[in-house]
């Protein structure tokens, strides 16, 4: 990708954001789960955010990642252990 192409993509994304045109990628999208898991795998989002967006328990995110062949992040088990130790901090919100 050339610099001009990259800048064009960035400007297009900014335009979509400003217009509020973000309806194209919703949980009903067939690649939604895989994309969220890929984002978690590369460290773009945390395990907690992935769990909320997918509407899954924290441990289930690991199972889904394995099913999709997505690499589990290096510190993911530590992150899971941390959240399991926190009393009363259960995630229940699902993005619709």
Span 21-79, pLDDT tens digits: 566 677 877 888 998 998 888 888 888 889 888 999 888 998 899 899 988 887 777 77
Instruction: Identify the band that residue 96 occupies on the pLDDT scale cut at 50, 70 and 90.
Output: very low
Lowest mean pLDDT among 4-8, 41-45, 85-89: 85-89
- Residue numbers of the domain that contains 39: 24-96
Q: Does residue 3 lie in a domain region?
A: no
Q: Does residue 28 lie in a domain region?
A: yes
Q: Which residue has the higher pLDDT, 16 or 90?
A: 16
In angstroms, the CA 68 to CA 48 distance is 19
Q: Is the pLDDT of residue 91 over 70?
A: no
Q: Contact 90/55 with Cβ under 8 angstroms?
A: no
Q: Does residue 42 lie in a domain region?
A: yes
Q: Does residue 6 lie in a domain region?
A: no
């Amino acid at each position: 990708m050339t610099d001009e192409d990259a800048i064009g993509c960035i400007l297009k994304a900014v335009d979509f954001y400003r217009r509020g045109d973000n309806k194209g990628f919703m949980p009903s999208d067939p690649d939604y789960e895989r994309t969220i898991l890929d984002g978690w795998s590369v460290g773009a989002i945390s395990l907690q955010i992935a769990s909320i967006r997918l509407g899954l328990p924290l441990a289930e995110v690991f199972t889904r990642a394995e099913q999709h062949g997505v690499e589990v992040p290096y510190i993911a088990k530590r992150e899971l252990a941390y959240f399991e130790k926190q009393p009363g901090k259960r995630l229940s919100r699902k993005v619709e």
